[in-house]
């Protein structure tokens, strides 16, 4: 994985705190997205439920593999006429559950369209590594139009995504599906943590004194001076308050502790660093 290309650091991921994860349910109208969400959060199933208009979301706290997570599940309207209402909510999602109904072949064939729509409107920087999970819902139906083998083949060809078959009506694999989504996100977080630690700079190392990294840092004034240039690169590339605020109250972490930078200072650093190529000299080590 390219650390700089996919960096989306969370202090909670490394500190052991509870994580808030945003998960999006996508798929054609009528495939059972709302029923899956309601079954998982409230343990209820309504066979007369109406189609979602716009978006809805519910929260559930859970523990997965020793990690405490608050899962924020967003259910989106699958009809084309609601596209302008749902797509703004894609940004910031940590995982996408692509959902089809095993008794509706068209909903399966539309998975690629949903995948592309999400990647575009969520502004996914690295689609190859973004955690998608595919759900074949309504396995309680007697007549299938999509086989398990065909669905798994699609997942393998389009990103090697996990595939689960579910039934909101019978409560089959519903909990397993959402827990798998969490595991996929946590796996990415763990990789990103290793990437970040691997790019941490020893600010006391004399070997950096003659490098382009040091020369670039010397041109920065407090509070920006002393920040690793990989961090400045990422801040400059994102250039948004949302990215800066995602660091949380404790600020960004390195392998030895916490950088003493507030979110407003980080945004200032990002602004100052833009357009100054000397800041982004190649790091050694």
Question: Model pTM?
Answer: 0.64
In a domain, 146, yes or no: yes
- Pair (109, 187) in one structural domain: yes
DSSP β-bridge partners for residue 73? 23, 58
DSSP code per residue over 147-199: -HHHHHHHHHHTT---EEE-BTTTTBSHHHHHHHHHHHHHHHHHHHHHHHHHT
Q: Which residues contact 1 (CB under 8 A, 6 or more apart)?
A: 126, 129, 191, 192, 195
- Pair (10, 119) in one structural domain: yes
- Pair (205, 178) in one structural domain: no
pLDDT given at position 168: 95
Question: Which residue is it, tokens 């749902």?
Answer: 86
Give dist(CA 157, CA 76) in Å, integer.
25
CATH for 144: 3.40.50.300
In a domain, 105, yes or no: yes
Burial per residue of 146-169, b for 16 or more beta-carbon CB atoms within 10 angstroms, e otherwise: beeeebbebbeeebebbbbbbbbb
In a domain, 285, yes or no: no
In a domain, 186, yes or no: yes
Q: Where a domain ends, among 191, 216, 236? A: 191
- Pair (84, 186) in one structural domain: yes
In a domain, 87, yes or no: yes
pLDDT given at position 144: 96
Query: What range defines the domain where residue 62 resides?
Result: 3-191
- Pair (214, 142) in one structural domain: no
Give dist(CA 156, CA 159) in Å, integer.
6
- Pair (31, 61) in one structural domain: yes
pLDDT digits (tens, 9 = 90+) for 19-76: 899 999 999 999 999 999 999 999 998 776 656 655 788 999 999 998 899 999 998 8
Nearest to 178 by CA among 86, 107, 72, 91: 72
> Domains in the chain: how many in total?
2
Torsion angle, alpha carbons of 145, 147, 151, 156, to 10: -150
Q: In sequence order, which ranges of the chain are alpha helices (DSSP H)?
A: 3-6, 11-15, 33-42, 83-86, 105-109, 111-121, 148-157, 174-198, 212-218, 229-238, 241-245, 263-273
Averages of pLDDT over each 10 residues, the chain, 285 residues: 44 60 93 94 80 75 92 80 73 94 97 95 90 97 96 97 97 97 89 57 40 38 48 49 41 41 47 44 41
- Pair (49, 153) in one structural domain: yes
């Amino acid at each position: 994985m390219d650390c700089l290309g996919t960096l989306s650091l969370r202090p909670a991921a490394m500190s052991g705190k509870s994580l808030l994860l945003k998960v999006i349910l996508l798929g054609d109208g009528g495939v059972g997205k709302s029923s899956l969400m309601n079954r998982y959060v409230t343990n209820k199933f309504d066979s007369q439920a109406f189609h979602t208009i716009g978006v809805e979301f519910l929260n559930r706290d859970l523990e997965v593999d020793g990690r405490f997570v608050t899962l924020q599940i967003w259910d989106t309207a699958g009809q084309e006429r609601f596209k302008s209402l749902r797509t703004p909510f894609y940004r910031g999602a940590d995982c996408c559950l692509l959902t089809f109904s095993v008794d509706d072949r068209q909903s399966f064939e539309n998975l690629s369209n949903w995948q592309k729509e999400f990647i575009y409107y969520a502004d996914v920087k690295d689609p190859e590594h973004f955690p998608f999970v595919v759900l074949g819902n309504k396995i309680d139906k007697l007549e299938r139009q999509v086989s398990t083998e065909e669905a798994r083949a699609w997942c393998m060809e389009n990103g090697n995504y996990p595939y689960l078959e579910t039934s909101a009506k019978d409560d089959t694999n519903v909990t397993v599906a959402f827990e798998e989504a969490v595991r996929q996100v946590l796996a990415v977080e763990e990789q990103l943590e290793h990437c970040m630690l691997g790019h941490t700079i020893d600010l006391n190392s004399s070997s950096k004194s003659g490098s382009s990294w040091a020369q670039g840092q010397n041109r920065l004034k407090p509070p920006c001076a002393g920040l690793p240039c990989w961090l400045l690169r990422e801040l400059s590339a994102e250039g948004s308050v949302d990215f800066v605020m995602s660091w949380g109250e404790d600020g960004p972490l390195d392998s030895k502790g916490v950088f003493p930078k507030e979110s407003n200072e980080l945004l200032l650093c990002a602004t100052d660093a833009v357009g100054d190529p000397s800041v982004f000299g190649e790091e050694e080590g």
